Chains A and B, each alone.
Chain A
Amino acid sequence: MEIEKGIERLNDQQVEEFVQKNIILTSLDAVFNWARGRSLWPLSSGLACCAIEMMATGASRFDMARFGYEVFRPSPRQADVVIVAGTLTWKMAPAMKRVYEQMAEPKWVIAMGACACTGGPFNESYAVVPGVDKILPVDVYIPGCPPRPEALLDGMLKLKEKIQDPSKARVKHG
């Protein structure tokens, strides 16, 4: 009731200010992207030693929960982002691709570590995929062998930036 009384006393200009301060006009996409970027659910999948750093990132010392990314899902159907943490072999590649395809849209991929980015020290190997971008569309590459938890957090925040403002990641031509 007090608010109503207050509004009664405002003049037109004050009402205009009130509206501008308290009501946001935007597109639904922008709102969704704002929310998506702040609550990514990663898939709990690990391939090699990078997965240990990923677990450390989720644990108390580095605490991914500070950013809202702690909800590791064991099912691809509930996950938004797959962190490819480690060496992907050609034998494992079909399984990884299937897991990615089982995820619901919208979905993102983070290549964590040298192996996931380029094959790393196994780049020339007959058994290793030289970069997961050979089979999956990667959004963020995190270098390191393995990357420290801070690097993974930074990668997640970079992904948040990309989700919230897709134009930032757009390749500029000309």
Chain B
Amino acid sequence: MVKFLLDEFEPAQLSNLLGQEVAIAGEGVSRALIVTPEQLIATMEALVTKLGFDYLGDLTSVDRGAEGLEVVYHLYSLTNQREIRVKAKVDAETATVPTVTTIWPGADWFEREVYDLMGISFAGHPNMTRLLLPEDFEGHPLRKSYKLQKRV
């Protein structure tokens, strides 16, 4: 049975361990570690080296409208049987977070999918191009602001 890491640590304890001032949001199993894009890489590296989160299960994104965008990382530790969710908050205008392909190479296509559909760029990604939509597609359709084009 995979345990939820946030059940075992107090927020202050976790901030101390990760060396970052991190917040925890949400209720029950939907709790997540909230970080800024600047904190992201340091937090992720600490999670890998100190807590053994060696597997990136999923990487998605959410458009919260006025509250900006979120990149969501689902991490697992195959060695410790733990899971945790990390959310990086970013505003819709900048929409750039650093890539985690340097930590988990499997993030490559996840990040391209998020870029394609949500328009969040990942700084340092080796090939930041569209994954699912045609290359000449205009816009990012999962943004709340995206308007369907009139058909000819």
Flag whether A130 is at the interface (Cβ < 8 A).
yes
Is B98 interfacial (CB 8 A cutoff)? no
Q: Verify if A90 is at the interface (C-beta below 8 Å from B).
A: yes
List the A residue with the shortest CB-CB distance to B131.
A91
- Interface positions of A from 71 to 90, Cβ below 8 Å from B: 90
A124 at the interface (CB under 8 A from B): yes
Whether A126 and B134, one on each chain, are in contact in the complex, defined by CB atoms closer than 8 angstroms, is: no
Q: Is the interface of A mostly helix, strand, loop or mixed?
A: loop
Residue A127 lies at the interface, judged by CB distance under 8 Å to chain B? yes
Closest to B149 in A: A126
**A91-B148 in contact (CB<8A):** no
Q: Which of A106-132 contact B (CB under 8 A)?
A: 124, 126-127, 130
Q: Mark B113-152, 1 if CB is under 8 A from A, else 0.
A: 0000000000000000000111001000100001011010
Tell me whether B133 and A91 are in contact (CB under 8 A). yes
A/B interface sample: 17 pairs, CB < 8 A: A90-B133, A90-B134, A90-B137, A91-B132, A91-B133, A91-B134, A124-B148, A126-B133, A126-B137, A126-B141, A126-B146, A126-B148, A126-B149, A127-B132, A127-B133, A127-B141, A130-B151
Bound Cα distance from A127 to B116, whole angstroms = 12
In chain A, what residue has the closest Cβ to B146?
A126
CB nearest to A94 among chain B residues = B134
> What are the residues of chain A within 8 A of B151 when measuring CB–CB?
130
CB distance from B143 to the nearest CB of A (A): 12
Chain B residues within an 8 Å CB radius of A130? 151
Once the chains are docked, how many angstroms separate the CA of A127 from the CA of B131? 13
Which of A124, A126, A127 has the largest number of chain B CB atoms within 10 A? A126
Chain B nearest Cβ from A124, distance in angstroms: 7
Whole-angstrom CA separation of A126 from B137 in the bound complex = 9
Bound together, the chains give a CA A17 to CA B94 distance in angstroms of 89
Residue of A nearest to B135 (CB): A91
